[in-house]
C-alpha cells in the first residue's frame, strides 16, 4: 500500500462494478514525493458491498492534505479522513446528501481540533478536506482548502472546486492570470481549512453524471506540477490505475516538492433515475439502441475480425484484428460509443486518418485506408509490438550515446518525410515514439499535427494542442504555431533527456518549465553526463537553440551530423549558454494583490460603520 492511503479501504487498481444504478472503475495513489520525508496527504474511499447500500447510501472518495508549516499535518489529514469515512459508513439509508456532508465535515473538524487541544505538544494542526460522494447518477462534491476535483467529459476538463487560498480572489477578479497565481509564493496560503476551529465552512456542488465521465480528485502536489489540460488528457486516454501512475510520475519528473495524491473514478455505465413524490425510481430508457461496443469475435464492417482488446482508455479502444480481405493482422482504434457523436473526437480521428493517408515511411505509423463506407468512426493501422520510448528511458537512464544517436537519426528521417509533405507534428514526445521489437521505430499520434492544406485548429492558452511542457519550443510558449524547426526543438529536448536522464528545464510548476525556456538555455549536457562526447553536446544544443533561425534548418541536416560525427563543427555552443532568468511576471502583480486585500478590508470597515450608526436610529 502506498504511503498516505488508508489500508483496507478501496482498491488501488481493481475495477469496482456497482449495480443497478452506476458502474465505476477507480484507482488511488498517494506518494511522499521526491523531496519530502513524510507524507502529509491521506486518501481513502468507501465502496458498499451490496446493491442496497449502493442505492441508499452511495460511494465516497476522500482526500486530505495536511497543511505545510503546521505541526502534525500528517496526523491532521489522517484524523480528518478517518472521521469523515466513519460518518459516511454509519449514515442511515436515504439520508440527504447535504446532511451527510455536513456531519462529515463537522466530525472531521472536531477530531482535528480536539486532538490538537488534548496534545499541545503537537501544536496547531490543520488540513484540507475534499469529499466526493456518488449516489445514483449524481456526483456530490464538498471541500475546504486547495485540493481539487475535476470532471473530464468528452476529453474536456472542468474544475468543480474553487481553491480557498490567498490567490483565488485575485484570479477570480482577473487581477492576475491562473498561471501567475500558480507560481506566486502566496499560492499555498490557505484562507480556509480544517482544524483551527471545531467547525468548518465548506463549499459544495453537484453534477449529473454521464457514461464515460471521469472524476479526478487530487492534492496540490499534482496540479501544481501538471497542467489541468494534461490531467484531462491522461485521465481521458488511460485506465484509472495507469492514469494515476502516469500523473504521479509526471509530477515527480518535474521535481515536485510536495506530497502527491490522486484518486480517479471512471463511470463505466449508468442508469437514469427520476424522483416521484420523494421516491427515486428507475426510468426505463426510451431509446431502442443497444450497446454496440466491439468485443473479441465480432466482425466490423464484414472485414475486420476482432481478435483481442489491446488497451482501453476513457475515450477509445485499441483492438488487435485480422483483415479478412488479405489475412493480415492490424490494429483498430475505435472511439467508445458515447464519443462517436462528439465533434472534437470525430475531428481528431478524421485528422489522423487524413494525415496518415499522406504519409508513407517505414518509421511512421502506417494508417491503412478503408475505401468503403464505415459503419462507425475508426482507424485501421499496422499492428506493432514493442514499447514507447518513455518506457525504454525509464528502464535505462541515461541511454548509451550510440543507441540514442541511432534512434534519433531514424526519427529525423521520419520527420524529414513529414516536413516535405508540409506536416508538422507539434507534439513530439517520448510517449509518441514506439521502439519496436525488431529495432525499428514509429512516430505515433497525429491528432494535433499541423498540415499546410488542412483546416486550421483554433486554440487559446496552454493546452495539449500546443504540445507538452517538457518538450515545447519557445515559440509555442509564446503562442505561435511553429514550423518544422519546432519539431526539431522537441526532438532536441528528447535527445537531451535520453543521454542525460533529465529534461532540459525544470521548475516549481509546468508554467515555469514552459516559460524559462524563453529566457535562457538548459544546462550543458556534459555537465550532467561527463561521458558524452563534445559532438553529441554540440548536436543537442544546436537543436535546442531558442531562436528557430539558429536551429537546424531541417531534420535531414540533423540526421547527417548524427550519422557522421566527423562533419560536426565544434563551435563551443556550451560557452554561450545563458542561465534562465526568473519569470518576469512572477511578482509584478503582488502590489495589486495587496491593494485588492486592503480594499476589501476598507470596504468591510465602511459597511460595519454604516450599519452600526444606522442601527441607532
Domain of residue 105 covers: 22-154+191-273
Residue 440 and residue 491 in one domain: yes
State residue 154's pLDDT score: 83
Q: Give the angle subtended at the CA of 230 by the CAs of 224 and 232, to the nearest 5°.
A: 110
pLDDT at 14 over 60: no
Report if residue 176 sits inside a domain.
no
Q: In the structure grid, which three cell numbers stand for residue 61, read together? A: 472518495
Upstream peptide bond of 398 is cis (omega within 30 degrees of 0):
yes
Q: 463-468: which pairs have CB atoms within 8 A and are 24 or more residues apart?
A: 463/227, 463/229, 464/229, 464/230, 464/233, 464/427, 466/426, 467/426, 467/427, 467/429, 468/230, 468/427, 468/429
Domain CATH for 319: 3.30.200.20
pLDDT band of residue 22 (cuts 50, 70, 90) is confident
Would you call 204 helix, strand, or coil by DSSP?
A: strand
Nearest C-alpha neighbor of 212 from the set 235, 246, 245, 234 = 235
Kindly report, residue by residue over 195-219, the tens digit of the pLDDT: 888 888 999 999 999 988 999 999 9
Q: Of all helices (H) and strands (E), which one includes residue 578?
A: none
Same domain, 348 and 391: no
pLDDT in tens, 576-605: 999 988 655 444 444 555 555 556 556 655
Cell numbers given for 445: 499520434
Secondary structure (3-state) at 304: strand
The tally of CA atoms less than 13 A away on the side-chain side of residue 500 is: 20
Task: Tell me which residue of 266, 244, 247, 233 sits closest to 26, measured CA to CA.
Answer: 266
- Contact partners, residue 532, CB within 8 Å, separation at least 6: 401, 499, 500, 525, 526
Task: Assess whether 509 and 528 both reside in one domain.
Answer: yes
Question: Would the pLDDT of 532 be above 80?
Answer: yes
User: With bands split at pLDDT 50, 70 and 90, how would you rate the model's confidence at 13?
Assistant: very low
Regarding whether 500 and 473 lie in a shared domain, the answer is yes
Mean pLDDT of the chain: 83
CA 339 to chain centre: 20
Can you say whether residue 448 is alpha, beta or left, with left for phi > 0 and alpha for psi between -120 and 50 degrees? alpha
How many other CB atoms sit within 10 Å of the CB of residue 56?
16
Residue 21: the pLDDT is 67
Look at phi and psi of residue 313 and say left if phi exceeds 0, alpha if psi is from -120 to 50, else beta.
Answer: beta
pLDDT value at 180 more than 60: no
d(CA 351, CA 374): 16
Residues 373 and 238 in one domain: no
Q: In this predicted structure, which of 236-240, 388-392, 466-470 has the lowest mean pLDDT? A: 466-470
* Residue that wins the pLDDT comparison between 280 and 43: 43
Question: What is the predicted pLDDT for the residue at 273?
Answer: 53
446 within a domain of the structure (yes/no): yes
In this structure, of 190-194, 279-283, 441-445, the range with the lowest mean pLDDT score is 279-283
Specify the range with the lowest mean pLDDT, choosing from 27-36, 79-88, 115-124.
Answer: 115-124
Instruction: Please check whether residue 105 is in contact with residue 175, taking contact to mean a CB–CB distance below 8 angstroms.
Output: no
Q: Answer with the one of 211, 239, 273 that is the final residue of a domain.
A: 273
Residue 65, in any domain of the structure: yes
C-alpha cell at 592: 495589486
Domain co-membership, 360 together with 392: no
Name the more confident of 26 and 514: 26
Distance between CA atoms of 364 and 137, rounded to whole angstroms? 43
Q: For residue 256, tell me if it sits in a domain.
A: yes
Give the Cβ contact number of residue 565 at 10 Å. 15
Kindly tell me if the per-residue pLDDT of 161 is higher than 50. yes
- Flag whether pLDDT at 240 surpasses 50: yes
- pLDDT given at position 292: 65
Q: Please say whether the beta carbons of 500 and 525 come within 8 A.
A: yes
The strand pairing partners of 148, in sequence order, are 218
- Which range has the worst mean pLDDT, 488-492, 565-569, 611-615? 611-615
Burial degree of 127 (CB within 10 A; 0-12, 13-18, 19+):
buried
Q: Which three cell numbers, joined as nine digits, stand for 385?
A: 509490438
Does 68 have pLDDT greater than 50? yes
Phi/psi region, residue 255 (left: phi>0; alpha: psi -120 to 50; beta: rest), is: left
On whether residue 505 sits in a domain, the answer given is yes
Listed in sequence order, the DSSP H helices in 400-533 are 401-420, 474-477, 484-500, 510-516, 525-528
- Greatest Cα pair distance in the chain: 94
Q: Are residues 550 and 432 in the same domain?
A: yes
The pLDDT value recorded for residue 5 is: 54
Residues 200 and 111 in one domain: yes
Confidence of residue 458 (pLDDT cuts 50, 70, 90): very low
Which of the given ranges, 3-7, 110-114, 188-192, 536-540, has the highest pLDDT on average?
536-540
- Looking at the structure, do residues 403 and 371 belong to the same domain, yes or no? no
pLDDT at residue 183 is higher than 60: no
C-beta of residue 51 within 8 angstroms of C-beta of residue 19: yes
Q: Is the pLDDT of residue 508 over 80?
A: no
State residue 603's pLDDT score.
Answer: 60
| Dist CA 560 CA 301 (whole Å) | 45
Total domain count, the chain: 3
| Residues 516, 410 within the same domain | yes
Beta carbons of 421 and 358 less than 8 angstroms apart: yes
Residues 394 and 377 occupy one common structural domain:
no
**Final residue of a structural domain among 382, 411, 446:** 382
Examine the domain organization and report whether 250 and 395 are in the same domain.
no
Residue 281 lies in a domain: no
Distances (CA, A) of 500 to 431, 459, 514, 522: 18, 33, 19, 12
- Alpha-carbon distance 58 to 134, whole Å? 6
What's the confidence (pLDDT) of residue 433? 95
Contacts of residue 497, defined as CB under 8 A and 6 or more positions apart, other chains included, come to 393, 430, 470, 503, 504
Q: Which of 481, 491, 521, 482 is nearest to 504 (CA)?
A: 521
- Residue 123 reports pLDDT greater than 60: yes
Q: Decide: 176 and 167 in contact? Cβ < 8 Å.
A: yes
Supply the pLDDT for residue 208.
93
Distance, first Cα to last Cα, the chain:
66
d(CA 137, CA 260): 29
The answer to whether residue 14 is domain-embedded is no
What CATH number corresponds to the domain at position 422? 1.10.510.10
Average of per-residue pLDDT across 154-182 = 71
Final residue of a domain: which of 273, 290, 320? 273
3-state secondary structure of 387: strand
The pLDDT value given to residue 480:
81
CATH number at residue 244: 3.60.40.10
Q: Which residues pair with 450 in a beta bridge?
A: 424
Residue 492 in domain: yes
Mean pLDDT of 352-368: 91
Most confident of 303-317, 444-458, 558-572: 558-572
Of the candidate ranges 260-269, 348-357, 407-416, the one whose mean pLDDT is the lowest: 348-357
Amino acid at each position: 500500500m502506498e504511503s498516505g492511503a488508508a489500508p483496507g479501504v478501496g482498491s488501488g487498481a481493481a475495477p469496482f462494478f456497482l449495480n443497478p444504478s452506476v458502474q465505476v472503475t477507480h484507482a488511488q495513489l498517494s506518494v511522499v514525493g521526491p523531496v519530502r520525508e513524510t507524507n502529509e496527504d491521506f486518501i481513502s474511499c468507501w465502496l458498499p458491498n451490496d446493491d442496497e447500500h449502493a442505492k441508499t447510501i452511495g460511494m465516497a472518495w476522500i482526500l486530505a492534505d495536511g497543511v505545510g508549516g503546521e505541526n502534525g499535518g500528517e496526523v491532521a489529514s489522517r484524523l480528518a479522513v478517518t472521521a469523515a469515512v466513519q460518518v459516511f459508513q454509519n449514515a442511515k439509508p436515504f439520508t440527504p446528501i447535504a446532511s451527510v456532508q455536513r456531519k462529515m465535515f463537522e466530525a472531521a473538524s472536531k477530531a482535528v481540533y480536539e486532538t490538537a487541544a488534548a496534545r499541545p505538544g503537537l501544536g496547531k494542526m490543520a488540513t484540507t478536506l475534499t469529499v466526493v460522494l456518488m449516489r445514483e447518477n449524481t456526483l456530490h462534491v464538498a471541500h475546504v482548502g486547495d485540493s481539487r476535483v475535476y470532471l473530464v467529459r468528452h476529453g474536456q476538463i472542468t474544475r468543480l472546486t474553487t481553491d480557498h487560498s490567498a490567490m483565488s480572489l485575485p484570479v477570480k477578479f482577473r487581477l492576475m492570470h491562473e498561471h501567475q497565481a500558480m507560481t506566486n509564493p502566496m499560492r499555498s496560503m490557505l484562507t480556509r481549512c480544517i482544524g483551527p476551529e471545531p467547525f468548518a465552512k465548506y463549499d459544495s456542488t453537484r453534477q449529473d453524471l454521464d457514461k464515460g465521465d471521469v472524476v479526478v480528485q487530487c492534492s496540490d502536489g499534482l496540479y501544481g506540477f501538471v497542467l489541468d489540460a494534461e490531467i484531462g488528457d491522461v485521465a481521458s486516454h488511460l485506465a484509472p490505475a495507469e492514469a494515476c501512475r502516469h500523473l504521479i510520475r509526471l509530477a515527480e519528473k518535474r521535481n515536485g516538492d510536495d506530497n502527491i495524491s490522486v484518486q480517479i473514478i471512471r463511470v463505466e455505465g449508468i442508469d437514469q433515475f427520476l424522483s416521484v413524490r420523494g421516491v427515486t425510481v428507475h426510468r426505463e430508457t426510451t431509446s431502442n439502441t443497444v450497446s454496440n461496443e466491439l468485443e473479441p469475435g465480432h466482425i466490423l464492417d464484414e472485414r475486420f475480425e476482432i481478435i483481442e482488446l489491446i488497451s482501453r482508455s476513457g475515450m477509445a479502444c485499441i483492438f488487435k484484428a485480422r483483415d479478412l480481405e488479405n489475412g493480415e493482422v492490424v490494429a483498430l482504434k475505435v472511439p467508445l460509443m458515447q464519443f462517436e457523436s462528439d465533434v472534437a473526437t470525430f475531428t481528431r480521428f478524421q485528422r489522423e486518418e487524413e494525415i496518415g493517408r499522406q504519409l508513407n515511411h517505414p518509421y511512421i505509423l502506417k494508417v491503412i485506408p478503408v475505401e468503403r463506407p464505415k459503419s462507425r468512426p475508426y482507424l485501421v493501422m499496422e499492428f506493432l509490438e514493442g514499447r514507447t520510448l518513455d518506457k525504454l528511458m525509464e528502464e535505462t537512464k541515461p541511454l548509451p550515446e550510440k543507441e540514442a544517436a541511432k534512434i534519433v537519426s531514424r526519427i529525423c528521417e521520419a520527420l524529414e518525410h513529414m516536413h516535405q509533405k508540409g506536416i508538422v507534428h507539434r507534439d513530439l514526445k517520448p510517449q509518441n515514439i514506439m521502439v519496436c521489437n525488431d529495432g525499428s521505430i514509429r512516430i505515433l499520434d497525429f491528432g494535433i499535427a499541423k498540415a499546410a492544406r488542412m483546416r486550421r485548429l483554433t486554440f487559446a492558452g496552454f493546452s495539449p494542442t500546443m504540445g507538452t511542457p517538457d518538450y515545447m519550443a519557445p515559440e509555442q510558449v509564446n503562442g505561435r504555431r511553429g514550423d518544422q524547426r519546432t519539431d526539431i526543438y522537441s526532438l532536441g529536448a528528447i535527445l537531451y533527456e535520453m543521454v542525460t536522464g533529465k529534461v532540459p528545464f525544470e521548475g516549481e510548476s509546468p508554467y515555469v518549465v514552459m516559460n524559462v525556456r524563453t529566457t535562457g538555455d538548459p544546462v550543458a549536457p556534459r555537465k550532467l553526463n561527463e561521458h558524452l562526447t563534445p559532438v553529441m553536446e554540440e548536436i543537442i544544443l544546436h537543436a535546442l537553440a531558442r531562436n528557430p533561425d539558429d536551429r537546424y534548418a531541417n531534420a535531414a541536416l540533423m540526421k547527417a551530423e548524427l550519422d557522421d560525427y566527423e562533419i560536426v563543427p565544434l563551435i563551443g555552443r556550451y560557452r554561450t549558454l545563458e542561465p534562465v532568468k526568473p519569470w518576469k511576471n512572477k511578482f509584478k502583480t503582488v502590489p495589486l494583490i495587496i491593494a485588492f486585500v486592503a480594499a476589501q478590508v476598507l470596504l468591510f470597515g465602511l459597511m460595519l460603520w454604516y450599519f452600526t450608526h444606522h442601527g441607532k436610529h
